[in-house]
Amino acid sequence: MITKTAAKLRYSHTVGFMSLQGGRGFGNPVDLAFDSDGVMYVVSRGGSDAEEMNPSKRVTKCTVGEQFLGEFSSGGQNDGQIMWPSSIAIDGEDRVYIGDEALHRVSVFDKEGNFLYRWGRQGNGEGEFDRPAGMIVDGDGNLLIADSLNHRIQQYTPTGEFISQWGSAGDGEGEFNMPWGVAADAAGNVYVVDWRNDRIQKFTADGKFVRVWGGSDADDGKFNRPAGLAVDDEGVLYVADWGNERVQALTQDGECLANLRGESGLSKWAHEYFTTNMDELEERERANLEPELVYPPGDELRQESAMVEKLFWGPTTVKIDAEGRVFVVDTARARVQVFAWPDSAH
């Protein structure tokens, strides 16, 4: 039984702002994870692949209250570098795993950002990837990775030894068309975001199909290129419905409990930036941040998100911390929006 509904979630605060040259802030963030101390690690995909943009590809460490703790990695193909990071996961020993679409590999770091080892290469065999996407640590401490263009889920030990796989290309039960996000619930069931099929599939821990949600639309319970998801301790799914510019909260029966469009205010880092750049702050205060415009038919949601600052613009990932707070990676606006229950504080 749902004892606290997602409809009661309230916007808490925002973490981050745009910074493509390192330091406080993010550059097109795509995923986040928490270590055993509750420190937040946000991985940024950055700008272009030009050498001068390499600092924008990085992992930022900070607290939920926006204390900047440092950063590590940068753009490149050498050990410890990343090019198109797609996911981040942290295990019980605080090893940090980063999946990389461009390099078709997983790189592993300690919690201080020191490179440890990596595995993977492009291909469709065991131990190979074709654009690895979402990644989680399962209940046994192993890695589950969505192997996007191979249309499968692969399981590995923390050192990169192949264990198992399931899935194939298609739109039937247990089949995928570019799987992306991965999540698990308290019972060990696995949830896979089936990106181009506009659906979520649920499996047992060993890959047996259980059920499916979704279909292509903007209605409640439907999706337009969903990207990531999280499952809370009551089994509620929080889905980053990327193409519909929202996060949907669904019960196990598919009932839509809430649609979040975003409520962002300025982050602490953004406030500090504007107080030292008063001319920009004055321009911002004169601007209409919620303009009433007529948007092109068929693209209203994306155009509205691009024009209204508080809304999600390209939400890619949802994560839930130990306190039950919901974190949404708001990629195009280089921030994380945090939602909490009424009795929570940050």
Cα–Cα distance, 278 to 215 (Å, whole number): 47
Mean pLDDT score, 202-217: 96
Whether residue 8 has pLDDT greater than 90: no
The DSSP call for residue 309 is T
Whether residue 6 has pLDDT greater than 90: no
Give the pLDDT confidence score for residue 135 in this predicted structure.
Answer: 98
Mean pLDDT score, 10-34: 94
Give the pLDDT confidence score for residue 188 in this predicted structure.
Answer: 96
Mean pLDDT score, 31-47: 96
Model-level pTM?
0.94
Whether residue 210 has pLDDT greater than 80: yes
The structure tokens 């994380």 sit at: 336
Task: Please check whether residue 193 is in contact with residue 182, taking contact to mean a CB–CB distance below 8 angstroms.
Answer: yes
pLDDT digits (tens, 9 = 90+) for 223-281: 999 999 999 999 999 999 999 999 999 999 999 999 999 999 999 999 999 999 999 88
To 10 degrees, what angle do helices 268-275 and 278-286 make? 110
Give the pLDDT confidence score for residue 49 in this predicted structure.
Answer: 87
Whether residue 1 has pLDDT greater than 50: no
pLDDT digits (tens, 9 = 90+) for 100-150: 999 999 999 999 999 999 999 999 999 999 999 999 999 999 999 999 999
What is the CA angle 341-321-317, rounded to 5? 100
Give the pLDDT confidence score for residue 2 in this predicted structure.
Answer: 55
Computed over every residue of the chain, the mean pLDDT equals 94
